[in-house]
Amino acid sequence: MKPEEIIQRRVARELKPNSLVNLGIGLPTGVAKFIDEHANVLFESENGIVGLAAKPPEGMDDPDLTDAGGGTVSAVPGAATIDSAYSFGLIRGGHLDATVLGALEVDENGLLANWVVPGKMVPGMGGAMDLVTGARRVIVAMNHTAKGAPKIVPKCTLPLTSIRRISLIVTDLAVIEPTDDGLVLRERAPGVTIEQIVAATSAKLIIPDDVPEMDLGVAA
């Protein structure tokens, strides 16, 4: 199984039936593929749609029905469209059950940096700061390392997205939960050892006696 599929399948199992979820552009978008269609997980996008669905076949798309990356999408029966003020009311007001997004760094305090590399990459925060501040659960979905360098670090060196602690980190190697005491290693990816995870992490990890393999719902 490809690393990103491990992440997407594991994140999918975090999303509860009948919940409202925002998936970030890129790797998080792919989480939707692994949601049971009967679970009635409703996806929203901050550009103003509750109930977005996968891109329709070529030639069947509508330029006025898009996701937050500007790409065309379709919608589920029962979808609703809203303006930007209402959209961020949903996000900041505690009505969004979960947001899944990528990270540049996450640190021992569970703080996230994912929007700027000063002097190099200044895309702007878009909706990320509102999502991380306002969603009930914030799930980071990312590769454990970037070009071999750990992304889970003692303290973020890049500017923070929010001072709010995130809820869960899901990577191609591990599931890690930020807590009051620090980062707790909850699960290992199939075939991955605790030693491999520790070696790929520069932050201190709290390691319980039992660290089971991730349940991906299928054989890896």
Partner 1 sequence: MKPHLKPEEAVKLIPDGARLMIGGFMGVGSPHRLLEALAQSGKRNLTVIANDTARPGVDIGKLIRAGAVSKLVASHIGLNPETQKAMIAGQIEVELVPQGTLVERIRAGGYGLGGVLTKTGLGTIAAEGQQVVEIDGEKWLLAKPLKADFALIAADQADYSGNLQYQLTATNFNPIMALAAETVICEPREILPVGMISPDVVKTPGVVVDYLIERAA
Q: Mind telling me the catalytic residues?
A: 46
- Answer for which of 3, 13, 53, 81 binds partner 1 (CB under 8 A) is 81
Binds partner 1 by CB under 8 A, chosen from 22, 29, 143, 162: 162
Map residues 130-159 to x or -, x wherever contact with partner 1 holds by CB under 8 A: x--xx------------------------x
CA angle 206, 212, 214 (to 5 degrees): 110
Minimum CB distance to partner 1 smaller for 32 or for 175: 32
Q: 193 is written with which tokens?
A: 């050892």
Token couple for 21 = 């979820």
Q: Which position among 8, 9, 88, 187 is part of the footprint of partner 1 (CB under 8 A)? A: 88
Please choose, out of 12-20, 30-38, 41-49, 189-197, the segment that lies near partner 1 by the rule CB under 8 A. Answer: 41-49
Residue (70 or 191) nearer to partner 1, CB: 70
d(CA 219, CA 202): 30
Distance, in Å, from the CA atom of 23 to the CA atom of 25, rounded to the nearest integer, reads 7
- Closest to partner 1 by CB, 116 or 211: 116
* Binding residue (CB under 8 A) for partner 1 from 58, 78, 85, 149: 85
Tokens describing residue 33? 């593929």
Q: What is the 3-state secondary structure (H, E, C) of 151-183?
A: CEECCCCCCCCCCCCCCEEECCCEEEEEECCEE
Does 64 interact with partner 1 (rule: CB under 8 A)?
A: yes
65 binds partner 1 (CB under 8 A): yes
Single out the residue of 190, 193, 4, 196 nearest to residue 100, CA to CA: 4
| Cα–Cα dist 212/150, whole Å | 22
Closer residue to partner 1 (CB): 30 or 159: 159
What residues have CB less than 8 Å from 87, skipping those under 6 apart? 44, 46, 47, 48
Tell me which residues touch partner 1 (CB under 8 A).
45-49, 62-66, 68-70, 81-85, 87-88, 91-92, 116, 121-130, 133-134, 159-164
